[in-house]
Amino acid sequence: MAKRKRGGKPAGNEFADELVDRMARYTDAESLNDHIITPFAAALETVCSDRGYVLNIYGDTSNLVVSNEEDAEAIFQLVENYFEAKEAADTDSEKA
């Protein structure tokens, strides 16, 4: 089990700590996206692609799925079915 620092964060995760510190420098969504999110996503896509993985990010707040090419379509369908069911449920609850 990972040792814990103050605040409940796992010890020894320097990258996450550095990323949070860098993200805190940007006070609006646009600059955060330009300087952190987009470059990080591009790097992640490159690394996944180099290894033959498919990278998809879904969701209202993001759900990251990394898979092999063979499983990508099935995962895509699961996610699409989930969003369709959620949308239908939201529509039904609005009508009630």
Examine the pLDDT at 33 and tell me if it is beyond 70: yes
Report the C-alpha gap between 54 and 64 in whole angstroms: 11
Is pTM beyond 0.85 here?
A: no
- What is the C-alpha separation between 72 and 70, in angstroms, rounded? 6
Tokens of 34: 């330009």
Averaged pLDDT score across all residues of the chain: 84
Domain locations along the chain: 11-51, 53-96
pLDDT-above-90 percentage for the chain = 39
